[in-house]
Structure formats: structure tokens, C-alpha cells
């Protein structure tokens, strides 16, 4: 995969494998995406293909996708960073979701799709900014399996913090926590994480809170929130700020 995918200049695409993630210490991601016949918590989607020996069902994808768009005039300009969640099917793992409407959970890759689409728009419009997109290209499914994680398991994140798994349907925050932390190496001026928040109901947690008109936003930066709010009203793609404080 390279810049020919976009057919636009100033774009670099890098696909990172699990060996790279191990070297970087992205450990909670690795804990959730080990490429084993029955990986822990996240079971890789089997990408069957035809080769000279016939059908081969063993090819799996568990990778980080990076997209770099270098449109800023200054080569050393601080980038804007997008992080997106890309789980292709989230049944909840051992903490299984209710069956009603479960087919809709294929949309749990919506965050990754959004940031990749935004990167394509940046590049095609040739915006004068530098952008780094990092998303776990998690062509994976969170479903029950013989080696699935169990409530009570302990996972260690990239920053050294230990995390107890209470609900295996909360896999996204573990993977994204490492991805967000790893993106600090870019020294971004702004970092935006886009992800679905599905929960244990037919509707997503954000749908339950806000309905289908608004997108929920957690932001620690008032100026960024104001810009998002203004842009959302202008395009009728509205945002609603959610509480974010120590309480």
C-alpha cells in the first residue's frame, strides 16, 4: 500500500505490523490482537485467498495504518493528528451484546473510516497543513473464542499503567489508549480521536444520550470545541459537548 492509493501528491502511507508494535511497546494493543489461531479478545478476520496451492484461509491482518499528508509550507510544522477506531465487528467478546440489531455493529470501524476519508479530503484539496493519521487497522472482530479475554484479566498499557478488564465489550478504549499515547511522538498541536461508542444496547451509547442528530464531543480545549461547534452548525453536522472533568 502506498501513495498510489490516493493518486495525489504529498501523501505517504505506512502499514505497521505487530512486530513494530512490540518494538514500540504498544502492549495493550498487542494483548488484544495477537495473531494466533485463537487470539486473545480480538479474533482476526480471516482473509481467505487463492494461491498456487488452492484456498488458503490463514492470512490475517492485524496492523497499524499511518497516513502522512505533508501540505504545510514549513517542513518542521507541527502536525494535526487523527486517530480512528477500526474494529470490523464487535459482538462484545465474552461480555456478549444482545442479539437484537447486532448486525449493525459492523459499523464499529466508523472512526477509522472517518479519519481516512478526512485525510483523503485534505490531500485532494491540497490544504496547507501537515496531517498524521494513525489508526489500528484492526481488521478484527471482538467475538467469543477459546482464548478470549475474560473479566478480571490484567492488561498493561504502553504508558505502564495496568488495566483490569471488567467488561470485554470495552476493547476499543484499550486499543485506542495505546494508539493515542503512541501518537505523541509526532508532537502534534492538536489530536482528534474519532470512535464509535457502542455499549451493550441496540443503539450506541451516544445515540441513547443525544439521538441521531448530534455527535458527542469530549474536549479539553475550549477553542477547538468552538471551532468544531461552528463548523458543525454551518454544515448541519452538529456536535454536542459532553462533560469532561475530574468529577
Share of the chain above pLDDT 70, in %: 77
Residues 151-186: pLDDT tens digits? 888 888 888 888 888 887 877 787 788 888 888 889
Band of the pLDDT at 58, cuts 50, 70, 90? very low
Residues 220-229: pLDDT tens digits? 999 999 999 9
| Beta strand extents in the chain (DSSP E only) | 11-16, 42-44, 49-51, 54-56, 63-70, 80-84, 89-90, 130-137, 140-142, 154-156, 162-164, 190-194, 215-217, 239-241
Residues 65-83: pLDDT tens digits? 888 999 999 988 999 999 9
Which domains are seen in the chain, by residue range?
11-197 (3.40.630.10)
Residues forming the active site = 97, 173
Share of the chain above pLDDT 90, in %: 23
Beta carbons within 8 Å of 81's beta carbon, 6+ residues apart: 131, 132, 133, 134, 183, 186, 188, 190, 191, 192
Higher pLDDT, residue 60 or 192: 192
pTM of the full structure: 0.81
Amino acid at each position: 500500500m502506498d501513495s498510489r492509493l490516493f493518486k495525489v501528491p504529498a501523501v505517504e502511507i505506512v502499514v505497521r505490523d505487530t512486530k513494530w508494535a512490540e518494538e514500540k511497546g504498544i502492549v495493550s494493543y498487542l494483548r488484544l490482537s495477537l495473531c494466533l489461531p485463537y487470539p486473545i479478545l480480538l479474533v482476526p478476520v480471516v482473509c481467505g485467498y487463492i494461491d498456487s496451492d488452492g484456498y488458503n484461509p490463514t492470512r490475517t491482518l492485524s496492523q497499524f495504518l499511518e497516513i502522512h499528508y505533508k501540505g504545510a509550507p514549513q517542513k518542521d510544522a507541527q502536525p494535526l493528528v487523527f486517530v480512528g477506531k477500526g474494529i470490523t465487528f464487535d459482538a462484545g467478546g465474552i461480555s456478549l451484546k444482545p442479539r437484537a440489531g447486532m448486525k449493525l455493529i459492523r459499523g464499529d470501524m466508523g472512526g477509522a473510516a472517518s479519519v481516512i476519508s478526512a485525510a483523503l479530503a485534505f490531500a485532494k484539496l491540497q490544504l496547507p497543513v501537515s496531517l498524521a493519521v494513525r489508526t489500528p487497522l484492526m481488521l478484527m472482530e471482538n467475538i467469543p473464542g477459546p482464548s478470549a479475554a475474560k473479566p478480571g484479566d490484567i492488561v498493561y498499557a504502553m504508558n505502564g499503567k495496568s488495566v483490569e478488564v471488567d467488561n470485554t465489550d470495552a476493547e476499543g478504549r484499550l486499543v485506542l489508549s495505546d494508539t493515542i499515547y503512541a501518537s505523541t511522538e509526532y508532537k502534534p498541536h492538536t489530536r482528534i480521536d474519532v470512535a464509535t461508542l457502542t455499549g451493550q444496547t441496540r443503539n450506541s451509547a451516544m445515540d441513547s444520550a443525544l439521538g441521531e442528530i448530534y455527535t458527542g464531543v469530549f474536549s479539553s480545549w475550549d477553542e477547538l470545541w468552538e471551532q468544531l461547534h461552528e463548523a458543525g452548525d454551518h454544515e448541519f453536522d452538529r456536535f454536542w459537548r459532553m462533560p469532561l472533568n475530574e468529577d
